[in-house]
Structure 1
Amino acid sequence: MPESKPQIELLVVFFGGMIGGAARYLLSLVPLVGTWPAMTVLINTVGTGLLACLAAYMKEKQEKPAYLQSFLGTGILGGFTTFGALMVESQQMIKNSHYLFLVLLWVASLALAFLALHFGEKFGRKLSYPQAKGADHVA
C-alpha cells in the first residue's frame, strides 16, 4: 500500500466527517426515529454494522485504495456515530431518575451494537469474496 500523507489524510477525514455529521443530522429530522434516545441507538447500531463491514472488507482485500478506510471509517462513520450523545442522554435520564429507561438504553445499545458487529463483519467478508452462483459457503 502506498505511503499516506498526513495532510491529505486530514482532508479526507474532514470531508468524510462532514458527510457523516450531515447524515446524522438529517436522521434526527425523521419523525419518531429522530427523537432521542431512539435516534442515537439506531445511528450507533447502523454505524457499528457498517464499520465492522468496512473493517472485514478491508482486511480481506490485498489492494486497498489509498485513504478509503480513513474517509469511510474515521470520517463518515466517525462523524455519523456518537458516543457523546449516548452519554448526554444517559446523564439526562439519571437527572430525571429514569433509571429503568437508562438500563434499557444501555442494554439495547450494547445488544444491537454486538449484533450489528457480527452481521456487519459477515457481510464485509462476503463482499470481499463474492461467490459464484451455487458455490458452497465458506466461513
Structure 2
Amino acid sequence: MERQHNYLIELVIVGLGGGIGGSLRYILSLIPIIGHLFLITMGINWLGALLLAIFGAYLSQVSNQLSLWQPFIGTGIIGGFTTFSTMILQINQLASHNYLIAGGYIFFTIFGGIIMVNIGRKIGRQFDEVTT
C-alpha cells in the first residue's frame, strides 16, 4: 500500500512540474517575431539538456534525500519544458521547403544538445564541490 502511495505522490509531483515546464515553454512561444521560429525550439531543447545534465550530475553526488525533487524537476519541469515532438514537426515542415536547412537544424540541435550535456555535467559537479 505504501509503495502505491509513493507512486501517486510522484505522479502528482511530475504533473505539477510538467505544468510549470509546459507553461514556461508556452511563454517563450509568445515572444514577438521569434516565438514560433524553430530556433526557439532548438534553444529550449539545448537549455533543457543543459539543465538536466546539471541536475543529474549534482544529484549523482549527493544523498537520496532529494529523491522527490528528481521527478519534479527532471521528468516534470524539464520534460514539460523541452519539445521533442515540436522539433520533429518543425523538421518535417523545414524539409518540405529545404532539406539543407532541415538537416542543419537536426545537426545543430543534436550536437548542440550533446555540448550542453557535457557543460551541464561539469557545472553540476562543481555545485557539489561548492556545497561541501
TM-score in terms of structure 2 length: 0.91
1:89 equivalenced with 2:96 (yes/no): no
Aligned-partner residue type, residue 116 of structure 1: M
Q: How many Å separate the matches in 1 of 2:30 and 2:10?
A: 31
Letter in 2 for 1:31: P
CA deviation vs aligned residue, 1:9-47 (integer Å, no higher than 9, x gap): 000000000000000000111235413211110000000
> Which runs of at least 4 in structure 1 moved beyond 6 Å after TM superposition?
none
Tell me, yes or no, if structure 1 residue 29 matches structure 2 residue 22. no
The root-mean-square deviation of aligned C-alpha atoms, in Å, is: 1.7
Per-residue CA distance 1:75-110 (angstroms, 9 max, x = gap)? 0000000110111001112223x1111011011101
AA partner of residue 53 (structure 1): I
Q: Would you tell me which structure has more helix in proportion to its own residues? A: 2
**Aligned amino acid, residue 89 of structure 2:** V
User: How high is the TM-score relative to the length of structure 1?
Assistant: 0.86
Indicate the residue corresponding to 1:111 in structure 2. 111
Task: Indicate how the Cα distance of structure 1 residues 34 and 123 shifts in structure 2: closer, same or farther if over 3 A, else same.
Answer: same
> For the Cα contact (< 8 Å) 1:48–1:117, is it kept in 2?
yes
- Counterpart of 1:7 in structure 2 is 8
- Secondary structure of the residue aligned to 2:65 is coil
CA contact (8 A) 2:57 2:125 kept: yes
Flag structure 2 segments of 5+ consecutive residues without an equivalent. Answer: none
Listed as ranges, the matches of 1:1-139 within 5 Å are 5-96=6-97, 98-130=98-130
* Matched-pair identity in %: 34
Matched residue of 1:60: which SS?
coil
Distance 1:60 1:89 in 2: 37
